[in-house]
Amino acid sequence: MFALVDCNNFYASCERVFQPQFRNTPIAILSNNDGCVIARSDEAKAIGLPMGAPAFKYKAFFKENNIQVFSSNYPLYGDMSSRVMNILQQFSPDVEVYSIDEAFLVLNTIENDNLKELGHEIRNRILQWTGLPTSVGIASTKALSKVANKIARKFPEKTGGTFVIDSDEKRTKALKWTKIKDVWGIGRQLQKRLTQQNIHTAYDFTQLSDAWVKNNFSITELNLKKDLEGVVTLTLEDDHPVKKSIATTRSFENTYTDIKDIKERVATFANSCSEKLRDQNSSCNMLIILLQSSRFEKNTPSYKNSITVVLPYATNSSLTIAKYATKAVTQIFKKGINYKRAGVIVTGLVTTDNHQLDMFESENPKHKPLMKTIDNLNKKYGGNKLKLANQDLEKTWKMRQEHLSKQYTTQFNEILIIK
């Protein structure tokens, strides 16, 4: 069985842990340079504050509605995220960090006969230890665990924050409730085409024939359909459509022991994530780097570690991302391990496409045209003809962060003060 654990309004919840006076009041989190709204508490959503609202236009709105505004505090969010992910490891050896605030777990059904109870236990432990509320969805496939998670989130009183799809009736009911636009991996384009075909719910989608889906869409959608039917097609290893993060995680052909080899791989993965970011016009604020030893070599020590890196500013420059990713490798690399697998996840994504922000952009301005040139050349000549060499990066400009909370967990001079 798969579980999807998702932190509710993660950024807003992180702020509330250290400023509990805002527990029941509307909160908005602004993008870098305080440009626009990137996260909202439930209360702010209920008032009608839209996602992406430009902060300068909404100043009066914030005040009228008593919305507490925060600049994004990625060092805080990054640390709280790694606490949550480490707690999840206590429940399963197979955890896939999916984005800064959500992860998939493979649950052992022999050890855990009461999945509902297990879900509550996961939820309660994270809540007590970190103060962060989560929703837990449990089902036989990844796509269904996403659906279950949405139900847990939507009906907290009824579900207690945990929902398990463990029968065919529940699955059908859940799929009928799920609108097609809310199905994991169904983008806007696809949604339009499906609506034209009179497909409005996830259930409608599963009623289509395999051949039709495959012919009209692609194998990805067919896999998704099977997953929704309860047939496991997406595993933890798979690359799948993502919105909130982009990951490149690969097993090596051989095992590596030298940090140089690992760094080369990680730089390559970082580069590939950066390309994907530029493709979809996003920038990331955070990286998660994973290292893992070979699982099958019994006589060598096994090792698995990950580290979260908070970038000084949002970027999609391969140079910057590869630089921080390789730096992070030195933090978690241990000698004497046969490494078999590494990964780079970029998360804390924001849209790059905002001219208004350009004048404040912190990335070296030379990177943008350079990246464009690299992408164009690579597209023209195919493959990755143009690669990165180690390059030093110049200084950056200071961001605007007028509503920044303290870095309660990463800076000694900013910890809580208690009377």
CA angle 234, 239, 243 (to 5 degrees): 100
Q: Is 395 in the site for other proteins (CB under 8 A)?
A: no
Exactly one of 51, 52, 66, 129 binds other proteins (CB under 8 A); that residue is 129
284: alpha, beta or left, given left = phi > 0 and alpha = psi -120 to 50? beta
Q: Is 380 in the site for other proteins (CB under 8 A)?
A: no
Q: For residues 205 and 186, what is the distance between their CA atoms, to the nearest angstrom?
A: 11
Exactly one of 42, 45, 61, 83 binds other proteins (CB under 8 A); that residue is 83
Q: Is 417 in the site for other proteins (CB under 8 A)?
A: yes
Q: For residues 12 and 146, what is the distance between their CA atoms, to the nearest angstrom?
A: 21
Window contacting other proteins (CB under 8 A); options: 80-88, 185-193, 226-234, 388-396: 80-88
CA angle 95, 8, 237 (to 5 degrees): 20
Q: Is 128 in the site for other proteins (CB under 8 A)?
A: yes
Residue in 180, 241, 238, 234 with CA at minimum distance from that of residue 207: 180
User: Count of CB atoms within 10 A of residue 57's CB?
Assistant: 9
φ/ψ of 291, rounded to 5, equals: -130, 140
- Write out the two tokens for 247: 């990951």
Binding characters for other proteins, 6-45, by CB under 8 A (x = yes): --------------xx------------------------
E strands, 213-352, in order: 245-256, 282-293, 304-315, 339-347, 350-351
Exactly one of 31, 99, 130, 292 binds other proteins (CB under 8 A); that residue is 130
Q: What dihedral do alpha carbons 59, 43, 100, 238 form, nearest 10°?
A: -120
Q: Is 335 in the site for other proteins (CB under 8 A)?
A: no
Exactly one of 87, 100, 118, 144 binds other proteins (CB under 8 A); that residue is 87
User: Which CB sits closer to other proteins, 395 or 419?
Assistant: 419
Window contacting other proteins (CB under 8 A); options: 37-45, 160-168, 239-247, 407-415: 407-415
Q: For residues 189 and 74, what is the distance between their CA atoms, to the nearest angstrom?
A: 31
Q: Is 93 in the site for other proteins (CB under 8 A)?
A: no
Window contacting other proteins (CB under 8 A); options: 66-74, 129-137, 210-218, 311-319: 129-137
The contacts of residue 324 (CB under 8 Å, 6+ apart) are 287, 309, 311
User: Which CB sits closer to other proteins, 24 or 195?
Assistant: 24
Q: Is 86 in the site for other proteins (CB under 8 A)?
A: yes
Q: For residues 233 and 227, what is the distance between their CA atoms, to the nearest angstrom?
A: 6
Q: Is 212 in the site for other proteins (CB under 8 A)?
A: no
Q: Is 409 in the site for other proteins (CB under 8 A)?
A: yes
User: Which CB sits closer to other proteins, 20 or 241?
Assistant: 20
User: Which CB sits closer to other proteins, 124 or 191?
Assistant: 124
Exactly one of 91, 269, 324, 408 binds other proteins (CB under 8 A); that residue is 408
Closest contact distance (angstroms) between CB of 414 and other proteins is 10
Window contacting other proteins (CB under 8 A); options: 155-163, 190-198, 354-362, 409-417: 409-417
CA atoms within 13 A on the CB side of 351: 13
Q: For residues 66 and 200, what is the distance between their CA atoms, to the nearest angstrom?
A: 37
Residue in 277, 390, 350, 317 with CA at minimum distance from that of residue 32: 350
Window contacting other proteins (CB under 8 A); options: 107-115, 288-296, 330-338, 404-412: 404-412
Window contacting other proteins (CB under 8 A); options: 37-45, 128-136, 165-173, 201-209: 128-136
User: Which CB sits closer to other proteins, 57 or 419?
Assistant: 419
Q: For residues 30 and 34, what is the distance between their CA atoms, to the nearest angstrom?
A: 5
Q: Is 418 in the site for other proteins (CB under 8 A)?
A: yes
Closest contact distance (angstroms) between CB of 82 and other proteins is 8
Window contacting other proteins (CB under 8 A); options: 79-87, 199-207, 244-252, 377-385: 79-87
User: Which CB sits closer to other proteins, 110 or 418?
Assistant: 418
Q: Is 412 in the site for other proteins (CB under 8 A)?
A: yes
User: Which CB sits closer to other proteins, 116 or 406?
Assistant: 406
Long-range contacts of 407-411 (CB under 8 A, 24+ apart): 407/73, 407/75, 407/76, 408/18, 408/76, 409/75, 409/76, 409/79, 409/80, 410/75, 410/76, 410/79, 411/75
Site for other proteins in 235-274 (CB under 8 A): none
> What is the secondary structure of 58-119 as a DSSP string?
SHHHHHHTT-EEEE--HHHHHHHHHHHHHHHHTT-S-EEEEETTEEEEE--TTT-S-HHHHH
Q: Which residues bind other proteins (CB under 8 A)?
A: 20-21, 83, 86-87, 128-131, 408-409, 412, 415-419
